């Protein structure tokens, strides 16, 4: 992940219902719930702003009806936003012409949805190659590229099968390969694994992580499963009633939840696997430790799962050091217990 911004979403709104045109201007883009109700409007996305960085996996999650899927459709303009900006490499997609938008979608965006949308009368190879066919790429070239992606997603030997002859997980792999064939810059995935059995879902998550390590895409991934968000995402954005409740790393959401909603959302997260030592350490006096002879020094990047045994068995605080071996803090049993069981 780099520091450069790939997508910038600014003050985005999506209203559904008659009379939405001009409504936001009339209410200075700050309507109350009562204003929306009296106008008979539903705010699926409410004044949402965030950035997505190049190479990042940003996971958008929330309960059913929270606006997460609508938000992704607004980012791609599959749903026309009511107000705001969506900057893609500095280009405002909401101001782009239909022709420019179509070109950006075909060449720079890959999309995968929960329902695979495979063409039943086409083979695996032809389904994957279909986006290049739309771009009028010669048949030999598009089939060659599709064959490469068959291997990438682990479907060797299934090239000539039809969708009905594949399992759900295999069909999903076809959908993923098809979304990648245009060598997109940004990949949008809306609950792509939610219809799969648990074991296949886990397998697909592993495949996804493996693919990302090779491709380093910028990804916006929608899910309602916090465990999936933790496994896949660099940062997590939590939606509630169309609003962005909080955005941050899983560790940040756990340690500093913005409100009770976020706190409930993350209450069953595996804290020991997510919280790092630097989040629980306190200042230390160098005179209290002999780092040269200290065998129990802990790295500030260690997660609690990896240090718990040493901290519990120690009869005194343990020093915490950074990558250079410099003392940056200390931890003891109380700090550990507070972080794990607060």
Mean pLDDT for the stretch of residues 37-63: 94
Same domain, 288 and 230: no
Same domain, 11 and 60: yes
Last residue of a domain, one of 252, 270, 288: 270
Residue 167, pLDDT score: 85
Q: Please, which pLDDT band fits residue 336 given cuts at 50, 70 and 90?
A: very high
Q: 15-32, pLDDT tens digit by residue?
A: 999 888 889 999 999 999
Mean pLDDT for the stretch of residues 174-199: 82
Task: Provide the β-strand partners of residue 88.
Answer: 7, 91
Measured CA to CA, the distance from residue 104 to residue 81 in angstroms comes to 17
Lowest-pLDDT choice from 69-73, 97-101, 123-127, 287-291 = 287-291
Last residue of a domain, one of 270, 305, 333: 270
Measured CA to CA, the distance from residue 189 to residue 69 in angstroms comes to 10
Q: Please, which pLDDT band fits residue 312 given cuts at 50, 70 and 90?
A: very high
**Number of other CB atoms surrounding residue 224 within 10 Å:** 15
Parent domain of 102? 5-270
Same domain, 255 and 278: no
Residue 244, pLDDT score: 96
| Long-range contacts of residues 308-311, Cβ cutoff 8 Å, at least 24 apart | 308/272, 308/336, 308/340, 311/335, 311/336
Distance of CA 246 to the CA centre of its chain: 13
Q: Please, which pLDDT band fits residue 181 given cuts at 50, 70 and 90?
A: confident
Q: 137-150, pLDDT tens digit by residue?
A: 899 999 998 998 88
Which CATH number does the domain housing residue 279 bear?
3.10.580.10
Residue 292, pLDDT score: 67
Q: 52-70, pLDDT tens digit by residue?
A: 999 999 999 998 889 999 9
Whether residue 116 is predicted with pLDDT greater than 80 in this model: the reply is: no
Mean pLDDT for the stretch of residues 269-284: 93
Q: 99-112, pLDDT tens digit by residue?
A: 999 888 888 888 88
Same domain, 249 and 295: no
Q: Please, which pLDDT band fits residue 294 given cuts at 50, 70 and 90?
A: low
Same domain, 293 and 168: no
Whether residue 293 is predicted with pLDDT greater than 70 in this model: the reply is: no
Same domain, 259 and 324: no
Which CATH number does the domain housing residue 218 bear?
3.40.50.300
Burial of 274: CB neighbours in 10 Å, binned 0-12, 13-18, 19+: buried
Residue 121, pLDDT score: 92
CA 36 vs CA 14, 32, 42: distances in Å: 12, 6, 7
Beta strands in 174-251 (DSSP E): 186-190, 218-223, 235-240, 243-248
Residue 93, pLDDT score: 94
Same domain, 244 and 296: no
Same domain, 147 and 280: no
Same domain, 186 and 325: no
Q: 73-101, pLDDT tens digit by residue?
A: 999 999 999 999 999 999 999 999 999 99
Measured CA to CA, the distance from residue 51 to residue 47 in angstroms comes to 14
176-189 b/e (C-beta count within 10 Å ≥ 16 → b): bbbbbbbebbbbbb
Q: Please, which pLDDT band fits residue 72 given cuts at 50, 70 and 90?
A: very high
Same domain, 316 and 238: no
Whether residue 114 is predicted with pLDDT greater than 80 in this model: the reply is: no
Considering its fold, how many domains does the chain have in total? Answer: 2
Q: 245-271, pLDDT tens digit by residue?
A: 999 999 999 999 999 999 998 888 889
Whether residue 171 is predicted with pLDDT greater than 90 in this model: the reply is: no
Same domain, 81 and 201: yes
How high is the mean pLDDT of the chain?
89
Report the chain's terminal Cα–Cα distance, integer Å. Answer: 32
Same domain, 169 and 306: no
Residue 299, pLDDT score: 94
Last residue of a domain, one of 222, 240, 270: 270
């Amino acid at each position: 992940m780099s520091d450069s911004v790939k997508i910038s979403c600014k003050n985005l709104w999506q209203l559904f219902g008659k009379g939405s045109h001009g409504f936001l201007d009339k209410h200075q883009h700050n309507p109350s719930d009562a204003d929306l109700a009296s106008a008979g409007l539903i705010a699926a996305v409410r004044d949402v702003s965030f950035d997505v960085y190049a190479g990042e996996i940003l996971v958008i999650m929330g309960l059913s009806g929270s606006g997460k899927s609508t938000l992704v459709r607004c980012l791609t303009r599959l749903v026309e936003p009511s107000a705001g900006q969506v900057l893609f490499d500095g280009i405002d997609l909401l101001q782009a012409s239909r022709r420019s938008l179509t070109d950006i979608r075909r060449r720079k965006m890959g999309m995968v949805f929960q329902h695979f949308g495979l063409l039943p009368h086409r083979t695996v190879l032809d389904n994957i190659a279909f986006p290049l066919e739309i771009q009028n790429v010669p048949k030999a070239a598009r089939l060659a590229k599709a064959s490469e992606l068959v291997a990438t997603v682990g479907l060797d030997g299934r090239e000539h099968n039809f969708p009905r002859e594949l399992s759900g997980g295999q069909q999903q792999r076809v959908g993923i390969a098809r979304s990648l064939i245009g060598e997109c810059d940004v990949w949008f995935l809306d609950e792509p694994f939610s219809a799969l059995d648990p074991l296949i879902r886990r397998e697909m998550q592993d495949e996804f992580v493996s693919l990302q390590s090779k491709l380093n895409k910028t990804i916006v991934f929608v899910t309602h499963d916090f465990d999936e968000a933790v496994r896949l995402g660099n940062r997590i954005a939590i939606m509630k009633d169309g609003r962005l409740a909080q955005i941050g790393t899983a560790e940040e959401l756990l340690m500093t939840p913005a409100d009770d909603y976020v706190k409930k959302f993350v209450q069953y997260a595996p804290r020991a696997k997510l919280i790092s030592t630097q989040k629980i350490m306190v200042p230390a006096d160098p005179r209290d430790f002999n780092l040269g002879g200290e065998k129990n020094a802990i790295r500030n990047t260690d997660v609690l799962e990896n240090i718990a045994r040493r901290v519990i068995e120690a009869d005194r605080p343990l020093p915490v050091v950074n990558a250079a071996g410099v003392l940056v803090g200390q931890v003891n049993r109380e700090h550990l217990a507070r972080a794990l069981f607060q």
